[in-house]
């Protein structure tokens, strides 16, 4: 935590010359990098070069003053290594593992024994019926926990009597469901930004409506209005919005969507698999874009996310749509002879993402 704070303060101090002088800052930073590199080499003349934590600290901090296109000329390591060092220092700021335990608390042995007793004395009770009896007795544990206890003991669940499962319900209603969630972005200076992601279950179309450092409920309601404007006539086919119980949502957010005759579905607490499509799209955004770019501010984040959204909707293939993008026709394009038709590459986000098309 202390190293992360020191790293953040150092990067801010190093930006002071660039703000005050406006010229020669990159050159001075390059000289500092080369001097530190010489110091490292002199320190290890008799063996292989090893970079100590302090060396990584200074190289990562100075990288913010040098244009990225010159990194491979100035630094003794690859740009990917610099980004990895920077992410490591930023991640330390949000590392709370030393202050809290991960995962759910263990189920007491007495409660497990009671679950097995209820299952033994009532063979026709399923895990949800047993969960209800436990709740009446004051033991509030999840139905999935009851199922795990029974499964570990080799007790088969009672047959389901009525009603579809959550997976069956979402699959049957996929064309009318859109999922929503907020995800965070950490800038190069340690500032945290937030952005909402909306994903249609049936179309797999992505909507990222804004970026802010202060996600108030009024701002979230405005994002709902932006979504309805972005959807246009498509909103008539949507009947449900699936979201979690985040405090950023409010009555105004729900009211905007109810005005469009949409029903709000809330997933259970700490149950990410109830909104698995949402979790997967946020993971794709991080793996394919955000983890490889140093975000400077809100405008930069908005530019990166807008470019990725356009790529995702217009070009990126999806398994659920027969490897077609959301905005593509229902049938794939006809294949051409590669000997007579040239394939062109389009660079997105400076080459971070590539798109391929036949030359006209």
User: pLDDT per residue over 269-294, tens digit each?
Assistant: 888 888 888 899 999 999 999 999 99
If one compares 341 and 49, the residue with the highest pLDDT of the two is 341
If one compares 8 and 134, the residue with the highest pLDDT of the two is 134
**191 pLDDT tier (thresholds 50, 70, 90):** very high
Mean pLDDT of 5-18: 61
Mean pLDDT of 137-147: 86
C-alpha to C-alpha distances, 112 to 124, 131, 159, nearest whole angstrom: 18, 11, 21
Closest CA to 88 of 63, 53, 64: 53
Distance between CA 308 and CA 305 in Å, rounded?
5
Mean pLDDT of 51-80: 75
Over 60: is that where the pLDDT of 16 sits? no
pLDDT for res 45: 60
Mean pLDDT of 101-122: 82
Over 50: is that where the pLDDT of 20 sits? no
Residues with Cβ within 8 Å of residue 210, at least 6 apart in sequence: 195, 196, 219, 222, 223, 226, 302
Q: How far apart are the first and last CA of the chain?
A: 55
Most confident of 120-134, 223-237, 243-257, 326-340: 243-257
Percent share of the chain, pLDDT over 70: 76
Distance between CA 327 and CA 289 in Å, rounded?
20
If one compares 102 and 95, the residue with the highest pLDDT of the two is 95
pLDDT for res 22: 46
- Considering all CA atoms of the chain, what is the largest pairwise distance in Å, rounded to the nearest integer? 81
pLDDT for res 258: 93
Over 60: is that where the pLDDT of 162 sits? no
Mean pLDDT of 133-149: 86
Average pLDDT, the chain: 81
User: pLDDT per residue over 217-244, tens digit each?
Assistant: 999 999 999 999 988 767 888 889 999 9
Query: What's the pTM?
Result: 0.57
C-alpha to C-alpha distances, 246 to 37, 199, 220, nearest whole angstrom: 47, 17, 11
If one compares 348 and 2, the residue with the highest pLDDT of the two is 348
Distance between CA 41 and CA 47 in Å, rounded?
9
**97 pLDDT tier (thresholds 50, 70, 90):** low
Distance between CA 302 and CA 161 in Å, rounded?
49
Distance between CA 204 and CA 173 in Å, rounded?
14
Mean pLDDT of 105-115: 87
pLDDT for res 281: 92
> Among the listed ranges 151-165, 195-209, 271-285, which one has the minimum average pLDDT value?
151-165
pLDDT for res 341: 77
Mean pLDDT of 39-66: 70
């Amino acid at each position: 935590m202390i190293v992360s704070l020191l790293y953040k303060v150092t990067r801010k101090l190093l930006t002071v010359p660039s703000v005050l002088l406006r010229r020669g800052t990159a050159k001075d930073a390059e000289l500092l990098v080369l001097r530190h590199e010489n110091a490292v080499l002199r320190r290890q003349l008799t063996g292989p070069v090893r970079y100590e934590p302090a060396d990584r600290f200074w190289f990562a901090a100075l990288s913010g003053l040098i244009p990225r296109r010159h990194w491979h000329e100035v630094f003794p390591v690859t740009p990917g290594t610099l980004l990895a060092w920077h992410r490591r220092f930023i991640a330390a700021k949000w590392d709370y593992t030393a202050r809290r335990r991960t995962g759910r608390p263990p189920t007491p042995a007495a409660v497990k024994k009671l679950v097995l007793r209820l299952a033994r004395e009532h063979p026709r009770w399923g895990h949800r019926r047993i969960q209800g009896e436990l709740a009446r007795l004051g033991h509030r544990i999840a139905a999935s926990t009851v199922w795990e206890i029974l499964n570990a003991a080799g007790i088969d669940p009672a047959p389901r009597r009525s009603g579809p499962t959550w997976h069956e319900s979402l699959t049957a209603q996929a064309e009318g469901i859109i999922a929503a969630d907020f995800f965070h972005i950490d800038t190069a200076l340690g500032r945290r930004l937030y952005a909402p992601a909306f994903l249609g279950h049936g179309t797999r179309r992505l909507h990222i409506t804004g970026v802010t450092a202060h996600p108030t409920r009024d701002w979230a309601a405005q994002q709902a209005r932006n979504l309805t404007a972005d959807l246009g006539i498509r909103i008539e086919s949507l009947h449900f919005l699936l979201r979690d119980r985040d405090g950023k949502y409010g009555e105004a957010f729900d009211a905007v969507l109810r005005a469009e005759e949409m029903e709000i579905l809330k997933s259970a607490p700490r149950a990410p698999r109830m909104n698995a499509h949402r979790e997967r799209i946020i993971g794709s955004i991080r793996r394919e874009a955000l983890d490889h770019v140093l975000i400077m501010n809100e405008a930069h984040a908005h530019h990166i996310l807008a470019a990725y959204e356009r790529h995702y909707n217009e070009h990126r293939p999806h398994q659920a749509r027969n490897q077609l993008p959301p905005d593509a026709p229902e049938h794939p394009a006809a294949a051409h002879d590669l000997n007579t038709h040239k394939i062109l590459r389009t660079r997105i986000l400076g080459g971070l993402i590539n798109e391929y098309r036949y030359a006209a």
